[in-house]
Amino acid sequence: MLLKQSIMNEKLMQILGWIATVTAMAMYFSYIPQISGNLKGDKGDWLQPLVAGINCSLWVVYGLIKKPKKDWPIVVANSPGVFFGFFTFATAM
């Protein structure tokens, strides 16, 4: 019974991790409307995307150097934030 519960908890944690990964990626893809507005001349906020880009960069590095094995959900979840954060920042300037 304890083994079955442990397997169920592990599966639940895996599902929760991938749901969190997808929602994190969606959060960074939501910069697309701001990027579009920035490129049209309606400049938006630059500070939050800059901080997001820096934060995501740190998380990607953490996920890649984590021992004993890389933490791919963290890397995958934060990689769009590196691109979209810095790109949104650059277009807002």
**Which sequence spans correspond to the domains of the chain?**
2-92
- pLDDT score of 36: 95
76: buried, middle or exposed (CB in 10 Å: 19+, 13-18, 0-12)?
middle
In contact, 54 and 1? CB cutoff 8 Å: no
Kindly report the CATH class assigned to 2-92.
mainly alpha
- pLDDT score of 64: 96
- pLDDT score of 90: 96
Q: pLDDT averaged over consecutive 10-residue blocks of the chain (93 residues)?
A: 74 88 91 94 94 96 94 91 96 94
- pLDDT score of 1: 64
